[in-house]
A and B are shown apart, each in its own frame.
Chain A
């Protein structure tokens, strides 16, 4: 079946570096994508979203890039801080009712 996957299960960076978290999706019908951050013991928290009619969207310190040709999504975090340490999930939404599918997640570890 269709699935959303992440290339790297763990990413370690130094404080102040830029982080890039990648996500591959396989459902070409997906048209709405969301990145979530999940800290231990908490529910996922919305970071940023992008629709399929865009290829880039920027937020505060975060940028999401969408490449529909290769079905790839990335989350860029600028000047990574220790508070950014968490598991990051991408989710794709497909169909008229936007049924969501989450990937496995990438654990981001930021070293002070």
Chain B
């Protein structure tokens, strides 16, 4: 089966600019996750979707981050405006459901200048 697809692979922007990331999960996977991984740390969950509903977004900085999964398939994560501290790899993962192994994309590496 095809894996989780993410784009772009790399992104460089200046602080206060906006950026968006796209994720296409594995076909049939109901649960989709967005993570932020800062260098040298483990992935931190930003938001978890079950189909097109939000299961958990307690660690999403809602003043600047937003995510949607309108049709329960693809998802986008947006940052507006970006801060220097947002430099990280943004990982998308999907699973058949909660309590199932997650399959990760290779992430988008974001650098803020």
Contacts and interface: CB of A to CB of B under 8 A. Distances in A.
Contacts of B93: 43-44
Interface in A33-63: 34, 36, 41-46, 49
A91 B50 CA distance: 19
Most buried by A among B55, B91, B98, B103: B98
Interface in B35-80: 35, 40-45, 48, 50, 55-56
Given A97-B55, A98-B98, A99-B55, A43 B104 contact: yes
A97 B56 contact: yes
B104 A100 contact: no
Interface in B70-110: 91, 93, 98-107
B107 to A, nearest CB: 6
Contacts of A36: 104
Interface in A65-109: 89, 91, 93, 96-105
A53 B42 CA distance: 26
B4 interface: yes
Interface residues on A, range: 20 to 34
A43 B50 contact: no
Nearest to B58: A99
A46 B98 CA distance: 15
A89 B98 contact: no
Contacts of B44: 102
Contacts of A43: 4, 91, 93, 104-107
B41 A99 contact: no
B33 interface: yes
B102 A100 contact: yes
Interface of B: 4, 33, 35, 40-45, 48, 50, 55-56, 91, 93, 98-107
